[in-house]
Structure 1
Amino acid sequence: MTKLSVNINKIATLRNARGGNNPDLIKMALDAEAFGADGITVHPRPDERHIRYKDVRDLKPLLTTEFNIEGNCREQKFIDLVLEVKPHQVTLVPDATGQLTSDHGWDTIQYKDYLTDIIRTFKKAGIRVSIFVDPDEKMVEGAAVTGTDRIELYTESYARNFLSDKEKAIAPFVKAAEHARELGLGLNAGHDLDLKNLNYFSSQIPWLDEVSIGHAIICDALYLGFENTIQLYKRQLAMQGDVQSVIINS
């Protein structure tokens, strides 16, 4: 059964808008687990505009499913947090300071030495590492050299082009995914996956380990309810058959 890890950044954004604790981020993370989520994902940023560093520390001892922390590993504060909390997985994203949302993958060739060093640091601490990459076979090859456990395919272009030509939209992702499998890399995916395009994506790449989705789940929950929405996303993955795990990204 495919795992579903829910990114709760948007819940934190809503809480922070009023300065109090409504909605209660911790309760909603635990509710997401109770409603069927197989993991929780957070993406703290330096300005703490959504997830706060304190949230990450508070969540770790309470979660009973897989915990995934995404972020910019070029920030020492982020590195220190991950090494302190020791999540099951850290996903390395090449965000710039102040960036609204993740919008590109690593150049794994240009940053090979840096990525190799930081991945070694996290793996030494017993943390599984995934790095964010575009659907480019050269970038996949570069990722394999760094020693990462997994890659996460950045799926924005797939989502953007899905309705106009889904076969064309998925093609580079299938090629990249096949190459990752040949190289022995685990495979995650995320960004703008939703109830319309998730099933097709996972059915075309049945060896997928994880997908990351957050924004779409919270938007759907406004109409459908939080518990029902999580179950609907799990159903899209279950319909595919032999998939192995998914993360919901903001």
Structure 2
Amino acid sequence: MDKQELKIYEIMEVCLLAGKIILQSGGETYRVEDTMMRMAAAFGIEKTHSYVTPTGIIFSAEGDEPEPAKTRLIRISERSTDLKKVALVNSISRKISSGEVNLKEALEQLNEIDSLNLSFPIMIQVAAASLASGCFMIMFNGGWNDFIPAMISGGIGYFAFVYFHRFVPIRFFSEFLASFLIGFLSFLFVKIGLGHQLDKIIIGSVMSLVPGLLVTNAVRDLMAGHLVSGLSKGAEAFLTAFAIGSGIAIVFPFV
């Protein structure tokens, strides 16, 4: 492998790593493709092609004629929401475009971002989900006397979702079990007299599980013409909504 070919592969590695971080962190498909193509252009490769789906990235770069195009594939197995990482990768992309960062520095910084765990501690996440559940309940015209039950149900439900997901990596089952627990706790609060409007408590409590970012990205990708990614994310959002609805539905026959 000559130096020119080796450099192309190094550039592709940087571009794919940036795309992988954005896609795993909840970024849109168009953002992944645009970032990879801009970074490759800044390093001197003008002719690039990318094909991005929620589960994988195919990236192709054409060197000088008559060299054939180089193509690499990377698999995406885990996806979460971490917009801080998306912002950090975008910042590195802008520095590459302006010439502030070279290829080696970009690779080191991207590897550092990839290894970071920028998520808030679990108890802060639970506290935020709990407070959001109570506020959503009020937003849906619930009464203030149901604020505390909604907070407790939503917080425990979100904690159960995170806890179950560690043991069962399939999101459908963890979302199903968490929503069932939310429905059961909401019914229990109403049964013992601490809660009053069962529907409002449940609606507020499950909002922390609702796939808002997935729906937004699915619509954005469909509007941008990324039909495969848009439909895939839409199907994933539908499965999440179905899991939440199914978990709640099991509780209602006992109401």
Larger Rg: 2
Question: TM-score, length-normalised on structure 2?
Answer: 0.28
Greater helix fraction, Structure 1 or Structure 2 = 2
Question: TM-score, length-normalised on structure 1?
Answer: 0.28
Greater strand fraction, Structure 1 or Structure 2 = 1
* Higher relative contact order (CA closer than 8 Å, sequence separation 6+): 1
